């Protein structure tokens, strides 16, 4: 087998690159002869990378031997047009039509949407699109999105749905433009055109387009040949310049395997597949904890890594290849995390650099693959499947994530408490953050991610100020340990009557001298309320600021030092501070100065003002204080809560009365796990 060339020559279509003053891409070659004339080195390199001894390529081999490049291209395209593999990507011909798609019509005008932002991509003097354009906000993520060819998938879908030839024509032009305009650099790159993730995404998009349009005359021979000519470069990039770990490498290896599986005619195809599988298998344990959580500890990127593992397994299975048995158990654990961490409304946790993802469909699909009736029960809010054993709350001890529930129904209480490490990527400074949902509604929320630009907005969404934690002297938490080798022990309990978890942040706060430690314990009296106990240990006077961020849809009102949401007929929450501190209470919503505060982002590039309750106090020595969080549908009952005097520093005792119910006394342990509710 011919060894893959590590750094191939950079092949440029010189005759085309030198063209200037073109008004449209119509001047680019659409015929085989045009491409062969404009890009001779690209064409010879393409045929040099194929295994011409494969069955069906005899005519191609003869034309190559005669150096009749147009004939060789024609024969190669006829081979693909007449093939049946890969069957899962091939689609029948589309009937011509005049239907319209708003998304596709915008793309015809060069108006492309990436990450919820639409911009008209400028054209260069030669008429080609500026593939280096970073969108209206000069955001590299937008430029990378453009080069992932999401918009070409949108055009493909619009064409298949309407039969409108203008959409196929535009798709075809953009492919020819991209390949001709962006020669392979042969080295690691962070440009919008040649970063690893973008190369991976294009392989997937091109596989769908190339085979899905084989029966379409409007899909020009030039576009088909140019895709084929660029695939070895994409595979070479994934093979030699991929990431060292994390979700990136899982994606890039899936892309490399896709190139090998879907285009087995390339001489190195088997080597691509073999390398991708061998490189991926160790990642199943290297980047996934035994509890099933991907080590970035970011719900959205957990899905990204899990999907790449699963898609690689599915790819091999679709091609009739053996799937390594080591895939099954880790993938089941990863899917198990998605199922058991899911909110009652079907969304996953919004933590670190996550978006608010809808996970119900994928949990139901995974339940069929792994024969998990408990996942069906969770995803259908108990209407189908089998009730999970134990629970309904669950602890992921390596991730340090505690999910507290009242039950599995749509109105169930749900909380997400983070006491774990920072994560190996996409982290926020949010240890001891608590999110709460109840009665089908988010109440206390994480701020989300919003943007990856390195500006003040990014600093807010990443920082502690965007989370339900405590700031010390107005400062964010410093970085926590990123990864652990052992599960957390001795600080959580899940029982039929209650859940309990406790964590400590002792890494200090940015630019804050001396020693300060925050310990937070959360007790959930199942079906009733949460008790949050905070202890601040300090070696000097401090100003502390406790933050509670509400979902933007929540109407929040104050009642003295307490506060409550008051939306009729919906899930609401009352927050009652319990302490002797002289809290200064402030509501902040959509603030940009003097500091950003009171903003929420459910997905990238989207932000909305939300209410943040800020409790500020000056302390001279270590203090312990508490909060009682009571959910209800409609009006939340009045709550009376007092902290009972105790000489035992190992616990905090409170008396709590909700409405007209009998008062309860609870003991929240600050050491050990001896919870008392009576």
pLDDT tens digits, one per residue of 215-273: 999 999 999 999 999 999 999 999 999 999 999 999 999 999 999 999 999 999 999 99
**Could you count the other beta carbons within 10 Å of the beta carbon of residue 37?**
16
**Residue 331: pLDDT over 70:** yes
pLDDT interval class at 12 (50, 70, 90): low
Q: Given this model, what pLDDT does residue 11 score? A: 55
Mean pLDDT of the chain: 94
Q: Given this model, what pLDDT does residue 316 score? A: 97
Q: Given this model, what pLDDT does residue 19 score? A: 37
- Rounded to an integer, the average pLDDT of 345-370 is 97
**Residue 583: pLDDT over 60:** yes
d(CA 129, CA 111): 11
Domain ranges of the chain: 14-237, 398-635
Q: Given this model, what pLDDT does residue 391 score? A: 80
CB-based burial, 457-485: b 16+ in 10 Å, e otherwise: beebbbbbbbbbbbbbbebbbeebeeeee
- Rounded to an integer, the average pLDDT of 590-601 is 97
**Residue 9: pLDDT over 70:** no
Angle at 661 between CA 657 and CA 664, to 5 degrees: 45
From residue 36, alpha-carbon distances to 145, 213, 229 in Å are 30, 22, 11
pLDDT per position as a tens digit, 604-618? 999 999 999 999 999
Q: Given this model, what pLDDT does residue 559 score? A: 85
Best CATH choice for the domain 14-237 from the list 3.30.420.40, 3.40.50.280, 1.10.3720.10, 1.50.10.100: 1.50.10.100
Q: Given this model, what pLDDT does residue 18 score? A: 39
**Residue 16: pLDDT over 50:** no
In degrees and rounded to multiples of 5, residue 533 shows phi and psi of -115, 125
Look up residue 156 and give its two tokens: 């493909």
- The enclosing H or E element of 195 equals none
Q: Given this model, what pLDDT does residue 22 score? A: 32
CB 612 within 8 A of CB 546: no
Q: By C-alpha distance, which of 176, 149, 175, 132 is closest to 38?
A: 176
- Rounded to an integer, the average pLDDT of 298-315 is 96
- Rounded to an integer, the average pLDDT of 34-60 is 97
Number of residues that make up the chain: 678
Q: Given this model, what pLDDT does residue 3 score? A: 40
650 Cβ contact list (under 8 Å, min separation 6): 669, 670, 671, 672
3-state secondary structure of 617: strand
pLDDT interval class at 21 (50, 70, 90): very low
**Residue 25: pLDDT over 80:** no
- Rounded to an integer, the average pLDDT of 297-311 is 97
69 Cβ contact list (under 8 Å, min separation 6): 36, 40, 43, 44, 47, 63
Q: Given this model, what pLDDT does residue 466 score? A: 98
Quote the pTM value: 0.92
CB 283 within 8 A of CB 250: yes
In degrees and rounded to multiples of 5, residue 434 shows phi and psi of -130, 125
**Residue 187: pLDDT over 90:** yes
* Residue 504: exposure state from Cβ atoms within 10 A (0-12, 13-18, ≥19): middle
Topology classification of domain 398-635: Beta-galactosidase; Chain A, domain 5 (2.70.98)
Q: Compute the 3-state secondary structure of the chain and give helix, strand, coil in percent, each to the nearest 5.
A: 35, 25, 45
- Lowest mean pLDDT across 24-38, 453-467, 512-526, 546-560: 24-38
**Could you count the other beta carbons within 10 Å of the beta carbon of residue 386?**
12
**Could you count the other beta carbons within 10 Å of the beta carbon of residue 136?**
11
């Amino acid at each position: 087998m011919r060894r893959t060339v590590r750094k191939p020559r950079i092949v440029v279509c010189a005759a085309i690159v030198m063209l200037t003053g073109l008004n449209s891409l119509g001047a680019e070659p659409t015929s085989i002869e045009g491409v062969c004339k404009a890009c001779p080195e690209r064409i010879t390199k393409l045929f040099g990378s194929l295994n011409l001894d494969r069955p069906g390529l005899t005519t191609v081999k003869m034309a190559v031997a005669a150096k009749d490049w147009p004939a060789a291209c024609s024969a190669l395209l006829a081979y693909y047009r007449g093939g049946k593999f890969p069957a899962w990507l091939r689609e029948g011909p589309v009937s011509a039509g005049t239907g319209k798609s708003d998304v596709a019509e915008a793309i015809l005008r060069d108006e492309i949407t990436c990450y919820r932002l639409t911009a008209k991509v400028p054209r260069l003097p030669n008429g080609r699109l500026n593939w280096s354009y970073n969108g209206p906000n000069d955001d590299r993520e937008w430029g990378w999105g453009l080069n992932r060819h999401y918009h070409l998938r949108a055009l493909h879908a619009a064409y298949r749905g309407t039969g409108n030839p203008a959409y196929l024509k535009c798709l075809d032009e953009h492919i020819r433009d991209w390949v001709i305009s962006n020669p392979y650099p042969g080295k690691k790159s962070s440009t919008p055109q040649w970063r690893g993730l973008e190369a991976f995404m294009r392989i997937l998009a091109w596989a769908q387009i190339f085979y899905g349009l084989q029966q379409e005359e409007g899909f020009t021979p030039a576009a088909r040949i140019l895709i084929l000519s660029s695939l070895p470069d994409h595979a070479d990039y994934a093979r030699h310049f991929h990431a060292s770990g994390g979700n990136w490498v899982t994606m890039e290896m899936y892309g490399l395997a896709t190139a090998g599986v879907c285009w087995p005619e390339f001489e190195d195809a088997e080597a691509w597949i073999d390398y991708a599988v061998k490189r991926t298998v160790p990642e199943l344990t290297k980047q996934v904890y035994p509890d099933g959580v991907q080590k970035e500890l970011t719900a959205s990127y957990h899905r990204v890594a899990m999907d790449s593992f699963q898609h690689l397994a599915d790819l091999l299975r679709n091609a009739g290849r053996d799937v390594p048995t080591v895939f099954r158990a880790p993938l089941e654990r990863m899917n198990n995390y998605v199922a058991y961490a899911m909110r009652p409304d079907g969304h996953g946790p919004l933590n670190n650099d996550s978006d608010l993802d809808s996970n119900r469909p994928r949990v139901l699909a995974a339940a069929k693959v792994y024969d998990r009736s408990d996942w069906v029960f969770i995803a259908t809010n108990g209407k189908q499947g089998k009730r999970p054993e134990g629970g309904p709350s669950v602890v992921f001890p390596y991730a340090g994530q505690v999910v507290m529930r009242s039950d599995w129904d749509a109105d169930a209480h749900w909380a997400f408490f983070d006491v774990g490490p920072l994560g190996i990527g996409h982290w926020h400074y949010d240890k001891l953050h608590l999110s709460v949902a109840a009665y089908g509604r988010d109440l206390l929320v994480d701020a989300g991610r919003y943007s990856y630009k390195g500006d003040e907005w990014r600093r807010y969404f990443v920082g502690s100020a965007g989370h339900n934690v405590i700031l010390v002297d107005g400062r964010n938490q410093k970085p926590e340990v990123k990864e652990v080798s052992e599960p957390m022990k001795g600080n959580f309990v899940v029982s039929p009557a209650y859940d309990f978890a406790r964590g400590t942040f002792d890494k200090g706060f940015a630019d804050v001298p001396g020693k300060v430690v925050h310990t937070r314990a959360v007790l959930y009296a199942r079906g009733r309320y949460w008790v949050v106990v905070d202890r601040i240990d300090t070696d000097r006077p401090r100003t502390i600021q406790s933050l509670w961020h509400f979902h933007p849809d929540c109407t929040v009102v104050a009642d003295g030092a307490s506060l409550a949401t008051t939306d009729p007929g919906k899930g609401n929450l009352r927050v009652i501070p319990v302490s002797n501190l002289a809290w200064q209470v402030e509501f902040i919503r959509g603030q940009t100065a003097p500091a950003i505060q009171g903003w929420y982002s459910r997905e990238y590039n989207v932000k909305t003002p939300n209410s943040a309750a800020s409790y500020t106090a000056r302390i001279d020595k270590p203090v312990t204080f508490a909060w009682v969080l009571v959910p209800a549908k409609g009006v939340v009952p009045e709550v009376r809560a007092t902290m009972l005097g105790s000489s035992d520093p190992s616990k905090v005792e409170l008396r709590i009365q909700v409405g007209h119910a009998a008062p309860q006394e609870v003991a929240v342990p600050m050491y050990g796990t001896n919870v008392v509710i009576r």
